[in-house]
Amino acid sequence: MTRVNIEIDDELHKKAKLNALLQNKTLIEYIHEALKLKIGEDTKKKK
């Protein structure tokens, strides 16, 4: 696994953290899933 330091807007962080809590997930779990979904969408568009 690779560690990455990122900067995100405060408002985006609040929304992501709230959504993660509502889904009973950690913020990092929520971000992993969001990235996987986005990569999947982008891959489908390229085909």
State residue 46's pLDDT score: 80
pTM over 0.75: yes
State residue 45's pLDDT score: 83
State residue 1's pLDDT score: 85
DSSP the chain: ---------HHHHHHHHHHHHHTT--HHHHHHHHHHHHHHHHHHHH-
Q: Each residue of 1-47: pLDDT tens digit?
A: 899 899 999 999 999 999 999 999 999 999 999 999 999 988 888 86
